[in-house]
Structure 1
Amino acid sequence: MEKELTHYFAHTVLFWLKDPNNPEVQEKFEREVKKLIASSKYAHFGHVGKPAGTDRVVVDNSYTYSMIVTYESQEDHDAYQVEDVHQHFIAECKDLWERVQIYDVHRI
């Protein structure tokens, strides 16, 4: 039985925080990223987490946080990029990170 696939577009973001072990920095980042996902009109699914610590040569555990958000279309993703809640998240948290890496993927 084949599963029906939804969520046409996936947006994966890896964050490397400047001060990753600071509890105040962690609390602010986690609060703001959860608010972003919960408040977005375009995000269909959201997942935020830290590296699982799986120990395999192909696994990158160097980042501090990962966020995965899915959308029904690339147009929804594009609207999310300029959405007020996304812009607020960037303004509130951009000073917390030293690096951000993004992987955007269309469903096949």
Structure 2
Amino acid sequence: MELKNTIAEQFVHMVFFWLKDPTNENDRKEFEKAMHKFLNSSVYAKNKHFGQPAKTNRPVIDDSYTYCLKVSFNNLEEHDKYQIEPAHKLFISEAFHLWERVLIYDSES
């Protein structure tokens, strides 16, 4: 059965980042700058969302991460191209030293 009022997202890539020093404002600014530069130049990333944990409070919510990225693609092939595109590689080289953990969830319909 088709869902009503949804955005067509065939492949969803969700990335959760835990910064090494999440209270360091300079680190946060550096990470955000690298992320925005990446998202503004990525050829493949669609329906982009970059944010921080929402101010929700229920036992089932994990808000331990520092930042969340969600991007979608038309298919797995676009996702695979995204993984090796120059903008993605540049983001990793500019920001990897700021995080201590990354967790990824991929989903396709």
TM-score class, shorter: over 0.9
Segments of 5+ residues of structure 1 without an aligned counterpart are none
Aligned-pair CA distance for 1:5? 4.6
Residue 27 of structure 1 corresponds to 29
Query: Per-residue displacement from partner, 1:14-64 (whole Å, max 9, x unpaired)?
Result: 000001111111111111111111111101111111101211000000000
> 2 CA distance for matches of 1:14 and 1:5?
22
Segments of 5+ residues of structure 2 without an aligned counterpart are none
TM-score, normalised relative to structure 2: 0.93
> 2 CA distance for matches of 1:42 and 1:14?
19
Residue 102 of structure 1 corresponds to 104
Question: How many residues are treated as equivalent by the alignment?
Answer: 107
> 2 CA distance for matches of 1:78 and 1:4?
24
Aligned-pair CA distance for 1:85? 0.4
> 2 CA distance for matches of 1:106 and 1:89?
24
Tell me how large the CA RMSD over aligned residues is.
Answer: 1.3
